[in-house]
Structure 1
Amino acid sequence: PEQEEMAYAWAKKKDTPYVKDPVFISNFLNDFLALFPEEFRDAKIEDIDFSELYKVVEEEKLAKESMSKEEKKMLAAERKKVREKMKEMYGWAEVDGNKFEVANWMVEPPGLFMGRGEHPLRGKWKPRVRASDIVLNLSEDAPVPEGEWKEIVHDHESMWLAKWIDKLTKKEKYVWLSDTAKLRQDRDKAKYDKARELGKQIDKVVKRIYKSMHSKDRKERMIATVCYLIYKLAMRVGDEKDPDEADTVGASTLRVEHVKLNKDSIEFDFLGKDSVRWHKSIKIDKENRILYENLKEFMKGKKEGELIFSDITSRNVNRFLGKIVKGLTAKVFRTYLASDVVTRYLATIDKELTTSEYAKIYHAKMANLQAAVTCNHKRAPPKNFEKSLEKKKTKLEEIEKKLEELKKTEVKTEKQKERLEKRLAKMKERLEKTKFQIELALNTRDYNLNTSLRNYIDPRIFKAWCDYEGIDWTKLYSASLQRKFQWINRSSFKWERLAKEGYK
């Protein structure tokens, strides 16, 4: 029953910070108690005895921990077998006579909604998705799978295979072809080609935006100011979202309460995508003075909760941008800005700073970090961050100690000297690697690098830089991202040109 399923999910969170979070508790209780008779609706979390389920969870945990390596291997092999059998049945689709892998062929199971950042829905229950919730997109002559489906459509213009409305977030969820499908790869390449085209025309675009910010027409000034925020601060447009994104505050949907005009700076503070805080300031200088003046005018006489850019939508913004460069939309800016900042960072790295493979990977990750900061891909520090960092620091101390001891080793023969030099070189390598790991962990603690690596940084930049530095580009990407970006193996990007001319 659903009550038991929910109680078990709560018990699994027992030793996490979530069970102390008032919003998480309140949301869980609202959904959980709704399944009980009226008389229990006012119960508090401490009134509910979860001890039996805590015991079950603890027993499962202990059973897992007490398993031998062989047992764990056997269990993993069994699961893999089941998964592969299911994938063979459900994980493939035929498009234009070709068989392609399906990306997310398993529907998300019911469970507690975790969210990212301070998501207001955290702790609520994600209900089970049934066939009656799902719309299938099939060819007219395709056999319809067994089940009572919500609807069968034949949309030849779309790439999705199935969709449904998430009952909790009210968002549309989609099933897509895998990243390795040619259709997806072509679309991916086209996205980055658009960003490159913006790079070639960026001066023209910024000049036009700046000119329109001074326009006598109030609406044109508003649209141009929104565009300037998108360009200058890598803000999302606001009222436009991908099918898998939550509604989000962005440039066009900023309210008076989100902006503070100071004497020498403009401060922005709001909850962006996935309720992650977006907090940045921009200095008022000669270039940004018009931004300050326009915001001041558009905010005048408005209340805290009112929109700054009344009646301006993504449609207005995209129409304005499309007149400057054909096909240009607000979305292209974030891809361009992330790719541009990576290119500029790597162009500042001298050859002598990348003598070892670890140094090269470190600088590539630091370039990746610039993109994550630009796009505001913040995260809560990993749960075991401090513990993991201490481990690395202890390891560093041990290596340093061993290195000092090795240096004191006396050698009598040429062979011993040769052996010692090899050991010293290896130890110095370990020392360098550990130092880079510590530095990287500290620098990237508050940012998720994977989002920008997957969705915003043109992979041809890293491929060109890695070729130039003499390392394989796959060192920077997980196996799944290597498959997603396999099209870059045909790339003709040359790092020398990128470093000299920039991302264009």
Structure 2
Amino acid sequence: MRGQRLRRSDCSGPGLRRVRRGRGFGYREEDGQSVQDPEVLERLRGLAVPPAWRDVWICADPWGHLQATGIDAAGRKQYLYHPRWRERKDREKFERMVRFARRLPRLRRRLATELQGTEPTRDRVLACAVRLLDVGLFRVGGEQYAEEDHGVGLATIRKDHVSFRGDAIVFDYPAKGGVRRVQSIEDPLSRELVRSLRRRRRGGSQLLAYREGRSWVPVRSDDINDFLGREAGEGFTAKDFRTWNATVLAAASLAAGGREAATPAARRRAINQAVRVVATTLGNTPAVARRAYIDPRVLDRYLSGWTIAGALDGVKEIQPADDRGRARLERAVLDLLADERSSPALVRE
């Protein structure tokens, strides 16, 4: 039924309810009657709503865009969408990512100009934050994120999470889920401002703060995203950096490490390895990295034999703060996504 259209569903309206029954679950209609229809039961079980969810609501319409909601073990409301809806949203996300990538060169020039200042003004500190998102692949985080997840993002990193080792800025902090994360970044553009913010004696424990008169104002996650949206346009946010950088890293890993993969099985192994590299860099699981951050076109092109190996010729390693080297790599990835097979950066293995 590929032609069937999705319909908007509302979890505040009528729906089915999941109830505990022995070691498993049963389902009730809005009027309290048990669901008995075998086809309906098969659909409900096929949704694979996590057993730990409570207060589960399920859409009675199999073509509702939102299929189920529930409260997870941490007390957060979670949502399960129709696969067709997720496919559409993923396409939109990755097309948005391409538009974001095309604006990056101009944005980086703007950040470099702003960071040449000497005072910790609002725009200079926010430019530093966006620069760190670009080269460090941080989550932006926020106060609620820190409270709910026991993790720290860029907006809530403290001064004592930061140290310096030679030319490198070292961030050592509890990331998502409270898991310790250590990142070392060599970036001349942001280093001196980060050093100055780390050394300041006033303005609280938070690293990112700006001077306003005689006071220090802590940076919030909304400030960072608002600045990024203003400078890059289209309301782009910190997550667009992670999606784009994950896609570029996957393409580079496949081009560098997957050249010898001559069989379909070897190519699948190379993809799994590239996904693990991305997951480690992002601080995610491989499943999340592949599902949410890597544009599937990169993997599809690789399975068809195409990589960005031409952009890596003569290059040993491209550092995150090497804007010129990254731009070369990123242009190649844009060509790969557009299937521009005449591009000298693309090679068929």
Say whether the fold is shared (TM-score over 0.5): yes
Structure 2 residue matching 1:269: 3-state secondary structure: strand
Q: Does 1:453 align with 2:298?
A: no
Q: Tell me how many residue pairs correspond in the alignment.
A: 275
Residues 231 and 102 of structure 1: CA distance in aligned 2, closer, same or farther (over 3 Å): farther
Q: 1:299 aligns with which of 198, 218, 224?
A: 198
Q: 1:338 aligns with which of 246, 249, 257?
A: 246
Aligned residue number for residue 164 of structure 2: 261
Quote the Cα distance in structure 1 between the aligned partners of 2:38 and 2:226: 43
Is the Cα contact below 8 Å between 2:66 and 2:79 reproduced in 1? no
Quote the Cα distance in structure 1 between the aligned partners of 2:257 and 2:342: 15
Q: CA deviation at 1:451?
A: 2.1
Q: CA deviation at 1:459?
A: 0.8
1:326 alignment partner AA: E
Residues 203 and 493 of structure 1: CA distance in aligned 2, closer, same or farther (over 3 Å): closer
Aligned residue number for residue 52 of structure 2: 108
Quote the Cα distance in structure 1 between the aligned partners of 2:154 and 2:79: 29
2:52 alignment partner AA: E
* CA displacement, residues 123-151 of structure 1 (integer Å, 9 cap, x when unaligned): xxxxxx3x4xx6x598xxx89xxxxxxxx
Quote the Cα distance in structure 1 between the aligned partners of 2:342 and 2:251: 11
Residues 175 and 329 of structure 1: CA distance in aligned 2, closer, same or farther (over 3 Å): closer
Quote the Cα distance in structure 2 between the aligned partners of 1:103 and 1:211: 50
Aligned residue number for residue 128 of structure 2: 225
Is the Cα contact below 8 Å between 1:465 and 1:495 reproduced in 2? no
Q: 1:316 aligns with which of 217, 220, 223?
A: 223
Quote the Cα distance in structure 1 between the aligned partners of 2:142 and 2:38: 37
Structure 1 residue matching 2:49: 3-state secondary structure: coil
Q: Does 1:188 align with 2:90?
A: yes
Q: 1:172 aligns with which of 76, 79, 88?
A: 76
* CA displacement, residues 172-202 of structure 1 (integer Å, 9 cap, x when unaligned): 2223223x2x222111111111222222222
Residues 500 and 269 of structure 1: CA distance in aligned 2, closer, same or farther (over 3 Å): same
Q: 1:500 aligns with which of 338, 345, 349?
A: 345
Relative to the length of structure 2, the TM-score reads 0.66
Quote the Cα distance in structure 2 between the aligned partners of 1:304 and 1:277: 25
Structure 1 residue matching 2:345: 3-state secondary structure: helix
* CA displacement, residues 379-422 of structure 1 (integer Å, 9 cap, x when unaligned): xxxxxxxxxxxxxxxxxxxxxxxxxxxxxxxxxxxxxxxxxxxx
1:33-72 equivalences under 5 Å are: none
Aligned residue number for residue 405 of structure 1: none
Structure 1 residue matching 2:96: 3-state secondary structure: helix
Is the Cα contact below 8 Å between 1:464 and 1:493 reproduced in 2? no
Quote the Cα distance in structure 1 between the aligned partners of 2:295 and 2:36: 35
Q: Does 1:348 align with 2:251?
A: no
Is the Cα contact below 8 Å between 1:248 and 1:274 reproduced in 2? yes
CA RMSD of aligned residues (A): 4.0
2:339 alignment partner AA: K
Q: CA deviation at 1:466?
A: 0.7
Q: CA deviation at 1:326?
A: 1.7
Aligned residue number for residue 209 of structure 1: 111
Q: 1:329 aligns with which of 237, 241, 244?
A: 237
Aligned residue number for residue 290 of structure 1: 189
Residues 329 and 350 of structure 1: CA distance in aligned 2, closer, same or farther (over 3 Å): closer
Structure 1 residue matching 2:78: 3-state secondary structure: strand
Quote the Cα distance in structure 1 between the aligned partners of 2:342 and 2:280: 25
Q: Does 1:279 align with 2:116?
A: no
More strand per residue: 1 or 2? 2
Q: CA deviation at 1:102?
A: 7.5
Is the Cα contact below 8 Å between 1:339 and 1:457 reproduced in 2? yes
- Structure of higher CA gyration radius: 1
Aligned residue number for residue 358 of structure 1: 265
Relative to the length of structure 1, the TM-score reads 0.47
Identity within the alignment, %:
22
